[in-house]
Amino acid sequence: MSEILPRTIAIVGTGVAGTTAALTLRKEGFGGRIVLIGDEPEEPYQRPPLSKNMLRHSARPEAARLKPTSTWAEQDIELLTGTKVTGLDADALRLADGSQLPYDRLLLATGGRARTLPQAVGLDHVHTLRTLGDVAALRADLQPGGPLLVVGAGLVGLEVAATARAMGCQVTVLESSLQPLGRVLPARLRQEVMELHRAHGVRIHTDVRLERLDRHGDTLVATDHEGTLWEAQTVLVAVGMTPETTLARQAGLDLADGIVVDAYGTTSAPHIYAAGDVACHPDAILRQRVRIEQWNHAQEHGAAVAVNMLPGNHRPYDAVPWGWTNQYGVNLQICGHPAQADELIVQGGLTDFDFAAAAYRSGRLIGGIAAGRPVDFRALRRLVAEHSRDDGLLTAETDRGACP
């Protein structure tokens, strides 16, 4: 029996996964109703600039928009911003205003929320950075150039540290692990990034277990498990994100650090799909389920799942995740899962950030990193996609070393 063409497709989440999915449905020729729903008041916008250009410069929110305002009407996509979905039934969404939105197929692209610290509850001048609404408040605190304390040395924390240094702020970073970027880079490169920040005047302290965060007058004071104190006027908590699975949990969908989906983006319920940061999907490189928090992955996953929501399409998603970070003018490009490698083969110099590196685990190529070598990076992405090892990419300058 042939599949019935859906009349209404609802998409919850106006991030890049949901937005790309809506546009892809139109591109694929879907002529039914598309409703794109987000609880943020802004039109769909880009998140990568939030920790960089949007934070440093007083740019208008429109500068971060994913698409011109006219796009939604031109594509006949009903964009509902500032709209909270409070419940999920098998064939309808319940909205905060009491209305219901019937659907034939549903995509959950709900992303996640910035994690917070219980020590920070109720304290002013303590920020997270996940949404466009977070940027203005953090920028206002940084503009006087006062001391900033960043809790967490992941990508967001270190990008904000670099931006704040460019704004003239004194910056201290506290990290609970032994090195920064533990979920992103192999150990040899984590150390180089840490030294890059120190060379630009950032104080990075690792293996810190934060016990308290208190306000003493105009000063915020952080205390670790050994009683060491750090003072600042502003604190950024950058300790990752929590996938937004509230609706999925209400609907009884399978969960595992996110919403469990198959290679086509389908959840455990018929006609309900998930994509982007919230989706825990099979990964062809690691051969296990993963949940990836990367802009390009969310974009590509959203597009792939949208195609599979239409009748007759069953195309497994097997794209290589990739992304980048820009700190102090160094553009570090990353693909695959290099943080899980046990061997790193490097061409060029790590210290001066002019290199291409192939990351292996048990002899299999699982990722790549490059700085200042975009051509080599494209080759690495291609090789990772082919799941093959090809030392021909590298020259006699190759340096082998372990990366636990």
Q: Is 298 left (phi over 0), alpha (psi -120 to 50) or beta?
A: alpha
Question: Taking a C-beta distance cutoff of 8 angstroms, is the pair 172, 149 a contact?
Answer: yes
Same domain, 228 and 260: no
Residues 274 and 351 in one domain: no
| Cα separation of the two ends of the chain | 52
**Taking Cα atoms as reference points, which of 201, 153, 198 lies closest to residue 178?**
153
- Residue 399 has a CB neighbour count (10 Å cut-off) of 15
Q: Output the DSSP codes for 55-87.
A: HHS---GGGGBSS-THHHHHTTEEEE-S--EEE
pLDDT for res 6: 84
Domain count, the chain: 3
150 lies in a domain?
yes
Residues in the chain: 404
Q: What is the CATH number of the domain that holds 338?
A: 3.30.390.30
Q: What is the arrangement of strands in the sheet containing 77-80, beginning at the earlier edge strand?
A: 77-80, 33-37, 8-12, 105-108, 272-274
Residue 342's domain spans which residues?
329-402
pTM: 0.93
Looking at the fold, whether 132 and 211 belong to one and the same domain comes out as: yes
Residues 139 and 230 in one domain: yes
Identify whether residues 67 and 28 lie together within a single domain.
yes
Residue 324, in any domain of the structure:
no
Q: Are residues 70 and 16 in the same domain?
A: yes
**104 & 124 share domain:** no
How far CA 335 is from CA of 185, 211, 314, 322, in Å, comes to 10, 35, 25, 4
- The one-digit pLDDT tens for each residue of the chain (404 residues) are 356 778 999 999 999 999 999 999 999 999 999 999 999 999 999 999 999 999 998 767 788 999 999 999 999 999 999 999 999 999 999 999 999 999 999 999 999 999 999 999 999 999 999 999 999 999 999 987 789 999 999 999 999 999 999 999 999 999 999 999 999 999 999 999 999 999 999 999 999 999 999 999 989 999 999 999 999 999 999 999 999 999 999 999 999 999 999 999 999 998 999 999 999 999 989 999 999 999 999 999 999 999 999 998 889 999 999 999 999 999 999 999 999 999 999 999 999 999 999 999 999 999 999 999 999 999 999 999 987 434 444 433 334 343 33
Amino acid at 112: G
pLDDT at position 402: 38
Domain C-terminal end among 187, 208, 237: 237
228 shares a domain with 147: yes
Give the CATH number of the domain where residue 217 resides: 3.50.50.60
What distance in Å separates the CA atoms of residue 51 and residue 91, rounded to the nearest whole number?
Answer: 38
